[in-house]
């Protein structure tokens, strides 16, 4: 859900209501893809997500009420008038420091939904024999690495995640749609206490949507 590109306009998410809305995996996916697509009709959004258009209206209404998306006019297609929607920003970011003070539970729920989306995408992609799973143009990864990181290492990892986000942000119509899910978390800090060398767990999942 957090898009990172210098030329993109950020929208900061920190309200308890918005966090609660984004616990839903379906709404996460809608708002994330909508932010990348710009202003589109429900029909276009449904085609991109591979979902029936009728199934999206309920979620779009909730996202609009929460202030994460808005209607942006309408157009006539095939003699039928369609409402157009867009995200509040072309880049959506969660303010973790502020949001943690408001709802740890919602933040944990959002992370859980992100991972469920990644697992769903992986399961679908691995069944498709056309998906490349080796070589320079590999399309499918699942990765987990546990190790000890210094503060300097953490700075480098965060910079790498920023670069990855920048590389993924592309205008609609160029290339194919992919999903990348990343989780970085310290391990055993409460049990062992903060130390000079903190053990971190970094999981990254790459799945084709």
What are 97-141's pLDDT values in tens digits?
999 888 899 999 999 999 999 999 999 999 999 999 999 999 999
User: What pLDDT, on the 0 to 100 scale, is given for residue 177?
Assistant: 85
Tell me what percent of the residues of the chain surpass a pLDDT of 70: 84
Query: Using CA atoms, how far apart are residues 23 and 105, in angstroms rounded to an integer?
Result: 9
CA dihedral of residues 108, 111, 60, 14 (deg, nearest 10): 60
Position 70 pLDDT exceeds 70: yes
> Looking at residue 10, what is its pLDDT?
78
What 3-state class would DSSP assign to 13? strand
**Statement: the pTM of the whole predicted model exceeds 0.85:** no
- Quick check: 9 and 169 in contact, CB under 8 A? no
Q: Which long-range contacts (CB under 8 A, 24 or more apart) does 46-52 make?
A: 48/177, 49/209, 50/209
Query: What confidence category does residue 14 fall into, taking pLDDT thresholds of 50, 70 and 90?
Result: confident
Average pLDDT in the 46-66 region? 93
Q: In a 3-state reduction of DSSP, which class is residue 146?
A: strand
**C-alpha radius of gyration, the chain, whole number:** 18
């Amino acid at each position: 859900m957090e898009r990172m590109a210098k030329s993109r306009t950020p929208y900061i998410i920190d309200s308890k209501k918005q966090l609660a809305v984004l616990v839903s995996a379906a709404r996460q996916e809608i708002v994330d893809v909508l932010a990348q697509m710009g202003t589109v009709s429900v029909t276009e959004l449904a085609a991109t997500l591979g979902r029936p258009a009728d199934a999206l209206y309920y979620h779009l209404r909730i996202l609009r009420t929460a202030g994460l998306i808005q209607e942006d006019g309408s157009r006539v297609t095939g003699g039928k008038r369609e409402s157009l929607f867009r995200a509040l920003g072309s880049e959506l970011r969660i303010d973790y420091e502020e949001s943690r003070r408001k709802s740890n539970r919602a933040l944990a729920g959002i992370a859980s939904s992100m991972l469920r989306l990644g697992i769903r995408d992986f399961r679908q992609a691995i069944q498709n024999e056309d998906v490349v799973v080796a070589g320079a143009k590999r399309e499918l990864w699942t990765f987990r690495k546990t190790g000890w990181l210094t503060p300097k290492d953490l700075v480098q990892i965060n910079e790498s995640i920023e670069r990855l986000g920048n590389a993924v942000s592309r205008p609609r119509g160029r290339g194919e749609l992919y999903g990348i899910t990343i989780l970085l978390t310290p391990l055993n800090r409460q049990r062992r206490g903060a130390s000079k060398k903190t053990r971190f767990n970094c999981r990254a999942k790459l799945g084709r949507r």
